[in-house]
Amino acid sequence: MDGASLVVKRCTVCHENPAGRNNLKAILNHVKAAAGGSGKSSGGAAGGGETRMIIDEFRFQNAEARALAPSLNLDKTLKLPPVVLKNLGARQGGAAASDIANQILRPIVDATVHAATQEYVKAQREKLGNKAKEQVLDKLFK
């Protein structure tokens, strides 16, 4: 595909989940399910399956994610690093749209989770640091 673009302005990563999962992994799981669970297409173009395509270059840039963790008093918008993918589907001589979606979403999800995790760790470190300072001050002034 030449000249096609996808613009994603903002997504939300919520870390307050009892199973420790975030909503981006749920999105990726939905894409995998739509692709038949394995992420691999079974039909070829000649066999009447999905239309197959090759994408020379895909760019995901200027995007933001909202890192949300109420227990850490964290609600912050993060700039995501650009994700540039080349020759999607070329190795197989063309890939189904569901396969392409999986190839595109995986690095976007990984980049978003990485950025959000760094912010969660930073917030947790600050929270623990403040708590330690309070304990030291309590012992000094008692």
| In-domain check, residue 24 | yes
Q: Is residue 4 part of a domain?
A: no
Distances, alpha carbon 9 to alpha carbons 40, 65, 70, 88, in Å: 28, 8, 23, 22
Task: Check if the beta carbon of residue 76 is closer than 8 Å to that of residue 130.
Answer: no
Predicted pLDDT of residue 66: 81
Per-residue confidence (pLDDT) for residue 15, from 0 to 100: 56
- 1 in a domain, yes or no? no
The verdict on residue 88 lying in a domain is yes
> Looking at residue 40, what is its pLDDT?
44
β-pairing verdict for 64-69 and 10-14: parallel
The residue segments making up the domain with residue 109 are 10-140
Structure tokens at 127: 């929270």
- Contact at 8 Å (CB) between 100 and 1? no
What is the DSSP-derived secondary structure letter of residue 87?
A: E
pLDDT score of 79: 87
Residue 2 lies in a domain: no
Is residue 34 included in any domain, yes or no? Answer: yes
At 23 the pLDDT is 63
In a domain, 53, yes or no: yes
Q: What are the tokens at 63? A: 């995007």
pLDDT of the residue at 46: 45
Quote the pTM value: 0.61
The verdict on residue 3 lying in a domain is no
Q: Which of the residues in the chain have pLDDT under 70? A: 1-28, 30-32, 34-50
Q: How many domains does the chain have?
A: 1
